[in-house]
């Protein structure tokens, strides 16, 4: 069993990396308001999925996945009836991207490695990988995670640069949890000091995204939209390199839509 490692691609400093906005502020008044958030009880099955046949393996891949809550309140991935017909070692990764059924390569800006299974795994043996607690990934709401991806375990051989992480199979997740932020409502109060960026609206004139301007701070941005800083982090679990980075980056696009997180 292996602990997960958060992997965020595109984190190297290059011309496409946004620069920190000057005077970027840290968390201020960052605790979200008490909005009677639900707590998932131990034993809860939060999401389920089934591996699809991508045609990438020399034989069928079968098995089911579930994200559950253990007795300590920790989210975990449970894999059952996993059968890899060629018997080779595989590894599991969570991704925030929705993949097409025949997706061949894992190229995601947010992925979370959970560990691997040795060659010759017995399908009758369930696999359990810890993910994190209610104060961890996604501010305790993992529903932004779309798929569980099965890839080949590294062999030490030459890596195909065109497809460094080939997909063997993947399991789309179906979530069955209540609204974890029932009191979260985003409203634009207008530009103000530290929050002078551009707002993107949906067809109902509701703010769904915000482009950070030079001199903006996250605390001021959160205040502009009537939410706590913790809510802003909640809405942006895929921020790179760290979802809770205290800096606002000039040109960074922040999500303001609960449906788009």
* End-to-end C-alpha distance for the chain, whole angstroms: 29
Predicted structure pTM score: 0.83
The Cα angle at residue 95 between residues 94 and 98, in degrees rounded to 5: 130
pLDDT at 56: 66
Banded pLDDT at 31 (limits 50, 70, 90)? very low
The alpha carbon of residue 242 and the mean position of all alpha carbons in its chain are separated, in whole angstroms, by: 11
Q: What percentage of the chain has pLDDT greater than the value 90?
A: 59
Could you tell me which CATH class the domain 182-261 is placed in? alpha beta
* Fold (CATH) for 45-175: Immunoglobulin-like (2.60.40)
SS3 assignment, position 196: coil
Q: What is the pLDDT of residues 187-207, one digit of tens each?
A: 999 999 999 999 999 999 999
Structure tokens at 156: 């030490």
pLDDT at 187: 97
Banded pLDDT at 32 (limits 50, 70, 90)? very low
10 Å CB burial of residue 164 (0-12, 13-18, 19+) is exposed
> Domain limits of the chain?
45-175, 182-261
CA-closest candidate to residue 48, choices 133, 151, 172: 172
pLDDT at 20: 59
Q: What is the pLDDT of residues 103-131, one digit of tens each?
A: 889 998 899 999 898 888 888 999 999 99
Average pLDDT over the chain, rounded to an integer? 85
């Amino acid at each position: 069993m292996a602990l997960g490692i958060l992997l965020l691609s595109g984190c190297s400093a290059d011309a496409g990396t946004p620069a920190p906005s000057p005077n970027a502020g840290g968390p201020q008044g960052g605790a979200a308001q008490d909005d009677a958030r639900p707590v998932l009880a131990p034993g809860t099955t939060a999401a389920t999925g089934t591996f699809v046949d991508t045609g990438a393996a020399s034989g069928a891949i079968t098995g089911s996945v579930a994200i559950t809550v253990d007795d300590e309140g920790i989210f975990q991935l449970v894999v059952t009836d996993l059968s890899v017909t060629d018997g080779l070692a595989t590894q599991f990764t969570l991704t925030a991207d929705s993949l097409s059924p025949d997706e061949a390569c894992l190229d995601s800006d947010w992925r979370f490695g959970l560990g691997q299974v040795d060659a010759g795994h017995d399908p009758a043996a369930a696999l359990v990988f810890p993910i994190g607690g209610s104060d961890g990934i996604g501010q305790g709401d993992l529903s932004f995670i779309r798929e569980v991806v099965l890839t080949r375990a590294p062999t030490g051989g030459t890596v195909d640069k065109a497809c460094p992480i080939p997909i063997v199979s993947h399991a789309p997740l179906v979530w069955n949890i209540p609204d974890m932020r029932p009191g979260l409502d985003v409203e634009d109060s207008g530009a103000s000091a530290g929050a002078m960026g551009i707002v993107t609206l949906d067809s109902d004139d509701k703010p769904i995204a915000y482009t950070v301007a030079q001199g903006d701070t996250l605390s001021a941005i959160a205040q502009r939209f009537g939410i706590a800083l913790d809510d802003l982090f909640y809405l942006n679990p895929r921020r790179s390199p760290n979802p809770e980075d205290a800096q606002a980056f000039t040109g960074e696009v922040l999500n303001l839509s609960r449906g788009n997180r």
